[in-house]
Amino acid sequence: MEYTIEKLLAEEQWKQLNVIEGKESCKRKIEGIRIIEVPEMARYLTGGELLLTSLYVYRDCSAEEFYQYLIAFEEKHISGILLKEREQISEKEKKIKLLKTYCESKKIPLIEMPKKISFWVMISFVMNRIFTKDVARLRYFKLTQDNFNTLSFGRDITSSKTQDILELLSDMVDNPVTLYYSNLNCYVTSGGDHSRLELREDLEEYIPSVITKFSYMRQRKKGTGEIQYVIKISVMEEVEAYLVVTEKNRKLSAMDCMAIENAIITLQYGFVTEFVQNEIEKKYHRDIVHNVLSGMLGKEEMEEAANLLEIHSEEYYRVVTFYTFQKERGDMYTSEQLRETGIIEGEIMTLCPGQHVYRNIDQIVMIQRVDEKQKREVYLNKMEEMCAALQNAIRYRHKTEKIQVGIGKMVKGIYNLKDSYYEAKRAISYRDIAKVISGNENQTVTLYSDLGFFKLLGDIDDLNTLMDYIPESLQRLYSYNKPQRKDLILTLQTYLDNNQSLNKTAQALFIHYKTATYRIDKIGKMTGMDFKNPNEMLNVRIGLILYKMLEKAR
């Protein structure tokens, strides 16, 4: 049964359409539907199509040229024109008047369409009325593919170009679309929500009603309960991202999934181009940075490297190293683990824009521009937050790597970066000592300068040699072979941590003041410790840390 303009106008959801010319010709059969994408659109028509336009494609042509393009539609016997007005079109009123004149003379229905109605919603609707289900899907897939190809042809994928792709997809599916980095931070969105993606416990696999090579997941958005479709995008097993479509305005259809498929393919193509370009540039920079940090360059070469890397002589820098560790792994990294390191490298570049980041097998090195006036605590807190973000992203990918960060000293300009790099690597090798010193087994960031005196002990291979640095009084306490030994050692540690305050010691251990007093007195009598001697107390503090190092090593 024929589907006509008259039947389209009679549909309940299209009551807002208004025929402004050619009312007497509304019985015309709709043979197809297309957006006018180029001024010479007539050459791409097969005949009988319903055309959609905002006249934007004619924005740069004169009124006379515009009318000639309209005349070219004559032999195609188009069924009608849907017009959605748009601003910023030269001679807009004159062109609309010419369009009305043309449609009136040729008895072509000219229908005014509200701005809020998406062309793509109309296309999907009409295709499902004039074609069988399979034909409609095939044609819609081809049409969306052509539009994405036109949008991306000859363009690199940058934030603004990705924005164009997402805006087009959002228009097609009539819902907000967002692209997230693998660490779940927002990269580009068609809506106004730039918050991080939260993968919730109800996240489940979703199988769309179309053939797909991508992995779809589905969840309810926190706060609104709206359905979110989460599609993972991978490029060359190096770049990972999440495309998220939120059902804010209407439910997704099979045709929407086809549009999503074409959008992802377009994004992937752009990402591959960008990835190859970036890899060439990164390799060149990696070689330069490696030579700088290894101290292999002469003065003139260093100055040239400083200019290329934009490392300024009056600015301050630190070298930061990132390592990934797994409990059960040999000396060799698997290809999968190396790919994961590459993904982490990309995430660091995202979190630290403008810094020099490069990967060297299992480690990632960053030359970080820093503020010499920034307080140490503030700087370390920011580094801990970044490390936590990286660890969360790893967990979301269901990987088991653990991030450890080593930080070298602050240096001015390029010439002493090799010293900062040396310290950053040493900080990683002393990470277990740092955890003992801080008393925090979950510590992920180690600043080499914080290791102090213990840097001298890190290279001692003979564990028994460390006993020479432990005062005899403390050795007596550790040799005390009674059940109370553990409580006494804990009390001593807490007592020293609280500046030898018995009140604070009792509060920290949740014991009575008299109990704390009794234990400290007992330690003094048993070991001969002089709690009033600051030098001895310093040695005891060091000895307590050395005992922890010994216990950890054994």
The pLDDT of residue 541 is 86
Q: Over 64-103, what HEC string results?
A: HHHHHHHHCCHHHCCCEEEECCCCCCCCHHHHHHHHHHHH
The pLDDT of residue 409 is 95
Cα dihedral: 248, 254, 256, 262 (round 10): 140
What would the pLDDT profile of 274-286 be if each residue is shown by its tens digit?
655 666 666 777 8
Coil, helix or strand at residue 447: strand
Mean pLDDT of 486-506: 91
Residue 160 has pLDDT above 70, yes or no: no
For residue 233, which phi and psi values (nearest 5 degrees)? -115, 125
Mean pLDDT of 378-403: 88
For the chain, domains (ranges, CATH) are 5-130 (3.40.1390.20), 142-276 (3.30.450.40), 311-458 (3.30.70.270), 463-553 (1.10.10.2840)
The pLDDT of residue 460 is 66
What would the pLDDT profile of 518-532 be if each residue is shown by its tens digit?
999 999 999 999 999
The pLDDT of residue 101 is 94
The pLDDT of residue 463 is 63
Q: What is the DSSP string of 170-192?
A: HHHHTS-EEEEETTS-EEEESSS
3 close to 22: Cβ distance less than 8 angstroms: no
What would the pLDDT profile of 217-236 be if each residue is shown by its tens digit?
999 998 899 999 999 887 65
Mean pLDDT of 149-171: 73
The pLDDT of residue 235 is 67
The pLDDT of residue 365 is 94
What would the pLDDT profile of 497-553 be if each residue is shown by its tens digit?
899 999 999 999 999 999 999 999 999 999 999 999 988 898 898 888 888 777 765
Coil, helix or strand at residue 218: strand
**Of 101, 87, 116, nearest in space to 20 by CA:** 101
The pLDDT of residue 161 is 78
55 close to 86: Cβ distance less than 8 angstroms: yes
Coil, helix or strand at residue 380: helix
Evaluated on CA atoms 394, 400, 402, 403, the torsion sign reads negative
Residue 361 has pLDDT above 80, yes or no: no
The pLDDT of residue 28 is 95
CB-side neighbour CA atoms (13 Å) of 240: 22
243 close to 177: Cβ distance less than 8 angstroms: yes
Residue 494 has pLDDT above 70, yes or no: yes
What would the pLDDT profile of 249-272 be if each residue is shown by its tens digit?
999 999 999 999 999 888 887 776
Residue 154 has pLDDT above 60, yes or no: no
Entry field: residues in the chain = 554
**Average pLDDT, whole number, for the chain?**
86
- Sorted by sequence, the CB contacts under 8 Å of residue 67 that are 6+ apart come out as 98, 102
271 close to 188: Cβ distance less than 8 angstroms: no
447 close to 427: Cβ distance less than 8 angstroms: yes
- Sorted by sequence, the CB contacts under 8 Å of residue 117 that are 6+ apart come out as 16, 84
The pLDDT of residue 157 is 47
The Cα 527–Cα 429 span in angstroms is 34
Q: Please give the order of strands across the beta sheet that includes 204-206.
A: 186-189, 177-181, 239-246, 227-235, 215-220, 204-206
Least confident of 169-173, 329-333, 372-376, 385-389: 329-333
The pLDDT of residue 392 is 86
3-state helix, strand, coil in the chain (%, to 5): 50, 15, 35
Least confident of 202-206, 264-268, 421-425: 264-268
Of all residues in the chain, what percent carry a pLDDT higher than 70?
90
Evaluated on CA atoms 205, 206, 207, 210, the torsion sign reads negative
CB count in 10 Å sphere of residue 448: 23
Angle between helices 159-173 and 133-152 (to 10 degrees): 160
The pLDDT of residue 210 is 85
179 close to 188: Cβ distance less than 8 angstroms: yes
What would the pLDDT profile of 290-333 be if each residue is shown by its tens digit?
899 988 899 899 999 999 899 999 999 999 999 988 654 445 56
Buried b (16+ CB within 10 A) or exposed e, 13-34: ebeebebebbeebbebebbbbb
- Sorted by sequence, the CB contacts under 8 Å of residue 266 that are 6+ apart come out as 148, 149, 151, 152, 165
The pLDDT of residue 448 is 92
The pLDDT of residue 155 is 47
Mean pLDDT of 64-83: 93
Q: Which amino acid is at 550?
A: L
CB-side neighbour CA atoms (13 Å) of 363: 16
